[in-house]
Amino acid sequence: MPLTTLRLQVDDLCCSFDGRQVVSDVTLSVAEGQVMCLLGPSGCGKSTTLRAIAGVEIPDSGTIRIDGAPVFGPEGSVPPEHRGVGLIFQDFALFPHLSVADNVAFGLKGRKKDKRARAHALLERVHLERYLDSYPHELSGGEQQRVALARAIAPKPRVMLMDEPFSGLDNRLRDGIRDETLALLKEEGTAVLLVTHEPEEAMRMADEIALMRDGRIVQRGAPYNVYNAPADRAAAAFFSDIN
């Protein structure tokens, strides 16, 4: 048995649009309980990589394994809903016609009572138990994002995919929600692939950073190492925005 379980393994992933390659030979892996940040400037191919892993974008080639089992590769493609991944995007897209509790319970299977109990426990965990029967529009942006987190985590996904989840939030709220999100994901032991264009966010949240440019991963390592020993001038310039 390996010491840590690799929840997500991506090898030589290539994606293109209209003959233009935007993701080139991306290889990365995320272990149980680990937060990997895919960091890079806008347009470098981060979201396409994440969408391919989620199963909503079809790659040209490469393999994607979740818990060791291929979900994309030469043998075919597993549909998104059977990949065991959770998704959180910038626009959290809660169902406006469902209560907060029903939003969180939505993707769960089993008895109604058990689904509701799981939803309650998670909403309590993110300090939103008073909003169980409220509707999304009655909550602030930060609160809605915490509901989205509870909803995504409720079915216990093996891998959580997050695409710039905090960039729509108020500066004042962002750090608190980042820390709270991180704590909850760590408690659940979920493997996380977090996409961001903000070096500061990656430094705060990542166990490991994969730095991406023009569709390729140009450097991988612990945040401290990537920050202190950038692979090239472009990487150094990218990090120089942090203060």
Positions touching ligand ADP (CB under 6 A) are 17, 22, 40, 42-48
- Comparing C-alpha atoms, which of 62, 107, 60, 56 is closest to residue 78? 56
Closer to ligand ADP by CB, 21 or 134: give it: 21
* Nearer to Mg ion (CB atom), residue 93 or residue 98: 93
Nearer to ligand ADP, 22 or 184 (CB): 22
**Least separation in angstroms between CB 53 and ligand ADP:** 12
- Nearest distance from residue 4's CB to ligand ADP, in Å? 28
- The DSSP element (H or E) to which 38 belongs, if any, is strand 35-39
Contact between residue 104 and residue 151 where contact means Cβ atoms under 8 Å apart: yes
Closest CA to 196 of 243, 230, 236, 161: 161
Residue 26 vs 205, nearer CB to ligand ADP = 26
Residue 44 near which of ligand ADP, Mg ion, none (CB within 5-8 Å, type-dependent) = ligand ADP
Q: Which does 48 bind (CB under 5 to 8 A by kind): ligand ADP, Mg ion, none?
A: ligand ADP
Contact of residue 34 among Mg ion, ligand ADP, none (CB under 5-8 Å per partner type): none
Please give the residues from 17 up to 76 whose contact with Mg ion meets the rule CB under 5 A.
47
| Cα 216 to Cα 221: distance, rounded to the nearest angstrom | 15
Least Å distance between CB 237 and ligand ADP? 17
> Which ranges in 109-232 belong to alpha helices (H)?
112-125, 141-153, 171-188, 199-205, 223-228
* Contact flag: residue 145 with Mg ion (CB under 5 A): no
| In the complex, least distance from residue 41 CB atom to ligand ADP, rounded to whole angstroms | 7
Cβ-based nearer residue to ligand ADP, 71 or 211: 211
Is residue 142 within 8 Å of residue 170, measured between CB atoms?
Answer: yes
Helix (H) or strand (E) holding 237: helix 233-239
Lookup result for tokens 């992933």: 13
Work out how close the CB of 8 gets to ligand ADP at its nearest, in angstroms, rounded to a whole number: 18
Q: Which one-letter DSSP state was computed for residue 117?
A: H
Closer to ligand ADP by CB, 132 or 231: give it: 231
Q: Which value, in Å, is the radius of gyration of the alpha carbons in the chain? A: 18
For the CB of residue 164, give the shortest distance to ligand ADP in the complex, in Å.
8
d(CA 38, CA 50): 9
> What does 141 interact with, of ligand ADP, Mg ion, none (CB < 5 to 8 A by kind)?
none
How would you classify the pairing of strands 159-163 and 85-89?
A: parallel
- Binding residues for Mg ion (CB under 5 A): 47
